[in-house]
């Protein structure tokens, strides 16, 4: 189980907890595989993390012998881009009033989805609730999201002024699960349980979820958000019924097309990079690491690698697509990961704007900055939801 007490952060320097590892020589870092690097990282900052035991593990990432270390993958330019983006988010975070903790007073910047993703981004760099360079910012994010958990368990602004639907709920459930696992705060735990109960009740008879918290219809785009939120909650010790897992696996598999891609809805026959990445990541998150759905899905994703882009176009969901693509390739490891990360890293570093944000692809620049930095920090593997 996770420790009951607050974590003890001991990292120092510009990069906070990263400094404990980036201070190593290149040879030392390169000689460590990813699992050893993670253990050294968590030990250095005193996070004291371990996955809660469950009746069935939802995920356990396989190691790959030829995987490149974080020191090999994350250049100085990458670290600079991450810090610049985090400083942008710090400047945008609201410090008082109704929207305290959010990243704006209206639109998606005021929503729980952007706030949760920003909180995850700070944590992905090693900051934790209450500690680390951005620990206070994580606290503000958690406070805002927690305050918007309704009595029903639905995580959304009560006045529905930001139309995030179950997307926002899923991202928020994932974020609160990471916070609860590290802090064991009773209030967050109680609200997270309500959120999980609502998600379980909202699963439809096909095994998926849709925009509203009702068991009516479903699509893969919303379903992946719920799967990751449930898996994170279960890792943190919250009960999630096994039959919920089985049903969502079946739904995801039915969304697969003959060419290895995944569709927005089962039987629609038209795959996309976003849904293919979501489909493969869904299976990995649910503990499915092998089979034609995974292998063919990875090949389909790799056809859309930055710099390649053969076949399917990105559409208008660039950051959503790469958020799940980088997770799929991270779980795949090996050459998939070694080739994918440098490609998206270089593309993101090159396209960052002067203020530290990225171009708005529909969710707002705050959302883009949060997504981009989660992607760029994936090699660090600090978030328990991505951990081995």
pLDDT of residue 61: 58
Evaluate whether residue 3 is within a structural domain: no
* pTM of the predicted structure, to 2 decimals: 0.85
Rounded average pLDDT over 52-80: 71
Closest CA to 370 of 342, 338, 348: 348
Evaluate whether residue 27 is within a structural domain: yes
Evaluate whether residue 8 is within a structural domain: no
Number of domains observed in the structure of the chain: 1
Reply yes or no on whether the pLDDT at 329 is more than 90: yes
Reply yes or no on whether the pLDDT at 89 is more than 80: yes
> How far from the centroid of its chain's Cα atoms is residue 340's Cα?
17
Q: How far apart are CA 381 and CA 388, in angstroms?
A: 8
Which tokens in the block code for residue 196? Answer: 């999980």
Domain of 269? Answer: 16-378
Contacts of 353 (CB under 8 A, 6+ apart): 359, 365
pLDDT of residue 314: 43
Evaluate whether residue 92 is within a structural domain: yes
Tell me which of 253 and 32 has the higher pLDDT: 253
Evaluate whether residue 86 is within a structural domain: yes
Query: What residue has token string 């020191």?
Result: 71
Range from 187-191, 286-290, 304-308, 352-356 carrying the lowest mean pLDDT: 304-308
Evaluate whether residue 383 is within a structural domain: no
Mean pLDDT of the chain: 84
Evaluate whether residue 388 is within a structural domain: no
Reply yes or no on whether the pLDDT at 8 is more than 80: no
Confidence of residue 55 (pLDDT cuts 50, 70, 90): very low
Evaluate whether residue 2 is within a structural domain: no
CA angle, 306 then 309 then 312, to 5°: 130
Rounded average pLDDT over 103-107: 96
Domain CATH number, residue 245? 1.50.10.20
Confidence of residue 268 (pLDDT cuts 50, 70, 90): confident
Which tokens in the block code for residue 131? Answer: 């500690």
pLDDT of residue 387: 66
Tell me which of 351 and 2 has the higher pLDDT: 351
Closest CA to 370 of 17, 79, 86: 86
Question: 251 vs 171, 214, 216, 255, 262, CA distance in Å?
Answer: 20, 16, 14, 7, 11
Confidence of residue 67 (pLDDT cuts 50, 70, 90): confident
């Amino acid at each position: 189980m996770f420790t009951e007490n607050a974590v003890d952060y001991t990292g120092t320097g510009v990069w906070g907890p990263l400094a404990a590892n980036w201070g190593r020589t290149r040879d030392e870092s390169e000689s460590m595989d990813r699992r050893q690097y993670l253990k050294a990282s968590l030990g250095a900052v005193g996070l004291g993390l371990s996955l809660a035991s469950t009746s069935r593990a939802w995920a356990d990432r396989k190691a790959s012998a030829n995987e490149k270390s974080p020191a090999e993958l994350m250049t100085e330019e990458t670290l600079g881009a991450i810090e610049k983006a985090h400083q942008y988010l710090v400047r945008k975070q609201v410090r008082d009033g109704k929207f305290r903790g959010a990243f704006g007073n209206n639109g998606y910047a005021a929503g729980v989805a952007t706030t949760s993703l920003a909180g995850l981004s700070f944590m992905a760099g090693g900051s934790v609730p209450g500690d680390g360079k951005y620990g206070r910012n994580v606290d503000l994010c958690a406070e805002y999201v927690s305050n918007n958990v309704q009595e029903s368990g639905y995580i959304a602004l009560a006045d529905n002024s930001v139309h995030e639907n179950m997307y926002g709920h899923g991202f928020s459930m994932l974020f609160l699960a990471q916070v609860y696992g590290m802090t064991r705060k009773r209030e967050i735990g109680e609200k997270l349980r309500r959120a999980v109960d609502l998600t379980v009740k909202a699963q439809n008879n096909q095994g998926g979820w849709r925009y509203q918290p009702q068991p009516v219809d479903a699509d893969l785009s919303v379903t992946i958000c719920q799967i990751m939120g449930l898996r994170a909650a279960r890792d943190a010790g919250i009960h999630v019924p096994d039959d919920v897992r089985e049903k969502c696996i079946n739904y995801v598999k039915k969304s697969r097309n003959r060419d290895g891609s995944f569709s927005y809805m089962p039987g629609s026959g038209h795959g996309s990079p976003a849904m293919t990445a979501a489909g493969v990541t869904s299976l990995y998150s649910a503990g499915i690491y092998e089979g034609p759905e995974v292998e063919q899905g990875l090949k389909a994703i790799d056809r859309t690698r930055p710099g390649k882009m053969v076949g399917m176009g990105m559409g208008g969901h660039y950051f959503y697509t790469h958020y799940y693509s980088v997770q799929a390739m991270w779980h795949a490891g090996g050459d998939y990961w070694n080739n994918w990360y440098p490609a998206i890293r270089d593309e993101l570093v090159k396209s960052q704007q002067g203020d530290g944000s990225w171009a708005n692809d529909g969710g707002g620049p705050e959302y883009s900055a949060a997504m981009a930095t989660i992607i760029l920090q994936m090699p660090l593997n600090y978030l328990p939801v991505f951990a081995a």
